[in-house]
Amino acid sequence: MEDFLSIPPYIWKGIFSLLKILGAGFLLALFATKYQKRKEIELQVKANVLKLQLESYVKLNAIFSEIQSIIAPPLHQEVFFASVIDTTTLGIKYMEYSSFFDSMECFDSYYERLLKVQKSEHIYMQYSVDQKLSEFINYLTELKIFLDAFCDTEHTTALGLDKKTADEHIQKAYQLVGICVQNDMGRFYGQMDQLLAYEVSHITLSYRSHYLKSIKEKVMKFISEHLEKYIDQDNTKGRAANWFYFQVIFRSYGNSVLLTRIPTIIMHLAFLHYSHKITPEEWYDQPEKMRTLMEEFLIVYRANLHHG
């Protein structure tokens, strides 16, 4: 074989071998550089998202901590509430409530701030935290429906209450309901506090640890939608569906005062409606009179409840 450019073949062979090695090395270096750059960007994005996730938990903890901001009413109001509330049935010991139950304005403000946190932060939260937040919001939503109906009842012109009296009744209603559901509030706070403590100590972007739980929730949702067809039926199937629905699927909610003691709470609201002209003693010691007044109250209250 003749030399090319006066260079022996074995030297050309060595040159080509070296170029192959250098080319492969260059390609590997280029790939490694791009891969490393990509990983740096991914890590930066993950770090930013994890920071946002942690910030969302801080915001959520702050708003849930307001549950523990307790107000004990003045002595004369405490005596009044103690004479109205069936403490034995509701299982409460103290006449106190979370601060956002102090008035309609406080409750609505808290409710709106909670919705705002969920709307803006839920995309950063882990599945379990987002689910518990939704459960709490659903609870407050139902509570708000009952209280809004009472507010509308008090402002119903046909009942003849002046604005000052109606506003006094409404404020007492929020405080009274806050006292009645204090155990529910404490339960929600405790559950969310444990969840946040766990998530902060195991902070991650992965949903894999909650994959099985999400499947369970989907199955439970399917079952609950099926049971909802029967829970109002007054028969064996209805009672079984009701028990499974509230004691298995929605146990926290099913054991709540809001769900299990609604008639008691509505009876207390009915008394507040007449509290400007009747004492607790007269209300409870005259069952026939109480029944008559309850029926009059419920006609308007149910209309406002359905309207709401």
pLDDT band at 239 (very low <50, low <70, confident <90, very high): confident
Nearest to 131 by CA among 197, 213, 54, 228: 213
Give me the residue spans of the domains in the chain. 9-307
CB proximity list for 238: less than 8 A, separation 6 or greater: 230, 231, 232
Provide the pLDDT for residue 228: 74
* pLDDT higher than threshold 70 for residue 7: no
Higher pLDDT, 256 or 58: 58
CB proximity list for 210: less than 8 A, separation 6 or greater: 126, 127, 128
Inter-residue long-range contacts of 189-193, CB under 8 Å, 24+ positions, other chains counted = 189/64, 189/65, 189/67, 189/68, 191/132, 191/252, 192/60, 192/61, 192/64, 192/129, 192/132, 192/133, 192/136, 193/61, 193/64
Asked whether 114 and 63 are in contact (CB, 8 A), the reply is yes
283-302 pLDDT, tens per residue? 888 888 889 998 999 999 99
